[in-house]
Amino acid sequence: MTDAATADDRTVPRHTGLALFALATGGFAIGTTEFVTMGLLPQIADGVGISIPTAGHVISAYAIGVVVGAPVIAALGARIGRKRMLLGLMAMFVVGNVLSAVANSYELLMAARFLTGLPHGAFFGIGAVVGTSMVAVNRRAWAVSMIMVGLPVANIVGVPATTLLGQEFGWQVPFLAVGVLGLLTLVAVWFWVTPQPVGTDTNVRSELSALARPQVWMALLVGMVGFGGMFATYSYITPTMTELAGFSEAAVTIVLATYGVGMTCGTLIGGRLADRALMPSLYGGLIAVTVVLGVFGWMAHTKPTALIAVFLMGCSASILIPALQTRLMDVAHEGQSLAASLNHSTLNIANALGAWLGSLVLSAGYGYEWPSRVGAALAVAGLLFAVISGQMDRRTAKSGANQVNA
């Protein structure tokens, strides 16, 4: 397969669009299974005989699977062809969802959700490397956005549809439906994704070499802290919308769909912007997140402005995703698969960090306006890390130029 750095339009595979669609379908399935659990906690609790708070641990089990699986699978699978890796990851995903559907105890369900989360980050990371290798160098972030768009679309279509299925026919049915989606993805990847031979210099050590690069850690910090700001707000979106804006609990689905539309728009816009100017789009996205979260608490007091704020939050945060994923692949050099996969572990850590910090201000007696303000502060910290990373780039470039001139 032609390397992304040397690819041009004449070397783009014939079925690139179909290959990206196959990977996006996998993203849609992953996004659906990740978030549908949140809407079915009461049914799951009744189904396996546990309390609703205990059922929340099922969500945590999936997130832990993502954090653990992304780096471990990407590193240990370094010598396996990337297409074969994608097929194996999707097969694991299907098995995890089927086990989730047939689980008749809390312990088995926890194990099944952990297994389902394991391939999440590695699929997106390796898929991003595969997708960018199929297109011209000036369209890499666009390719990433095409793969990642499955996640927000899942929030608009997949999660509401499978939640209704679960409420009507039982909580097991959504997991079976997602398993079928996983099988369809597996078939699509088999037919449409071009095999990519592993280079002789690619191994576990070459992948792990990414961890020795300071810029990789800086990019991961940008994602962890910057996205932590968004999750500090989104984790409490339901009570925020009901308490401040006056939405009924039933109408919160409209709010969530609005957020999903914002995410979709932001992901698509972010891919275009990052291809034109990678670091400026990263700076701009973080500034946008800071501004939106800074005014979110005031906008959340009326229904129309609350919906606008939710849309803008989803859009501004998602603009960052293609830029961050592409940045990680750029600075990782030989360890692209590991670095790109780690991005998704980082986002799950950001989820936990943001939710925890949001809970602190609420527990301290502050109102639902305040998690977003904490989020704005986190976004500023993420912007600071991004600026430092950009300065490191400039110093490296200047040092290289001085050595050449010497």
pLDDT confidence of residue 401: 61
Q: How many domains does the chain have?
A: 2
Q: Which domain holds residue 291?
A: 209-396
Q: What is the CATH number of the domain that holds 112?
A: 1.20.1250.20
In a domain, 107, yes or no: yes
CB 290 within 8 A of CB 376: yes
Q: What is the pLDDT of residue 58?
A: 85
Contacts of 217 (CB under 8 A, 6+ apart): 211
pLDDT of res. 358: 86
Least trusted range by pLDDT, from 108-122, 288-302, 387-401: 387-401
Judgement on whether residues 292 and 177 belong to the same structural domain of the protein: no
pLDDT at 1 over 60: no
Q: What is the mean pLDDT of residues 133-139?
A: 87
What are the DSSP calls for 195-238, one per residue? P-PPPTT-SHHHHHGGGG-HHHHHHHHHHHHHHHHHHHHHTTHH
Average pLDDT over residues 71-98: 89
For residues 191 and 135, membership in a common domain is answered with yes
**pLDDT tens profile 343-402:** 888 887 887 788 888 888 888 889 899 999 999 999 999 999 999 999 998 888 776 666
- Do 41 and 177 fall within a single domain? yes
Residue 200 — very low, low, confident or very high, per pLDDT cuts 50/70/90? low
> What are residue 246's phi and psi, to 5 degrees?
85, 20
Average pLDDT on 147-162 reads 88
Domain shared by 242 and 339, yes or no: yes
The pLDDT score that the predictor gives to residue 24 is 94
Question: Rounded mean pLDDT of 290-316?
Answer: 95
Predicted confidence (pLDDT) at residue 42 exceeds the cutoff of 50: yes
**Residue 49: how many other CB atoms lie within 10 Å:** 10
pLDDT score of 205: 72
Q: Which of 93-102, 162-171, 263-272 has the lowest mean pLDDT?
A: 162-171
- In this prediction, residue 179 carries a pLDDT of 96
Of 164, 198, 232, the domain-final residue:
198
Residue 203 lies in a domain: no
Same domain, 192 and 215: no
Same domain assignment for residues 249 and 153: no
CA distance 104 to 158: 24
Asked whether residue 65 falls in the same domain as residue 191, the answer is yes
* Contact of 203 with 78, CB cutoff 8 Å: yes
| DSSP-derived secondary structure for 305-346 | HHHHHHHHHHHHHHHHHHHHHHHHHHHHGGGHHHHHHHHHHH
Check residue 2 and give its pLDDT: 39
Where is average pLDDT lowest: 4-18, 143-157, 213-227, 303-317?
4-18
User: Where is pLDDT greater, at 310 or 121?
Assistant: 310
How does DSSP assign 235-291, residue by residue? TTHHHHIIIII---TTTHHHHHHHHHHHHHHHHHHHHHHHHH-HHHHHHHHHHHHHH
Q: Taking all residues of the chain, what is their mean pLDDT, rounded to a whole number?
A: 86
**HSE-up (13 A, CA, CB side) for residue 218:** 20
pLDDT of residue 406: 56
Asked if 82 contacts 123 with a C-beta cutoff of 8 angstroms, the reply is: no
Domain co-membership, 193 together with 311:
no
Q: How confident is the model at residue 202 (pLDDT cuts 50, 70, 90)?
A: low
**Whether residues 75 and 178 fall in one domain:** yes
pLDDT band at 74 (very low <50, low <70, confident <90, very high): confident
- The confidence score (pLDDT) of residue 374 equals 93
% the chain with pLDDT above 70: 92
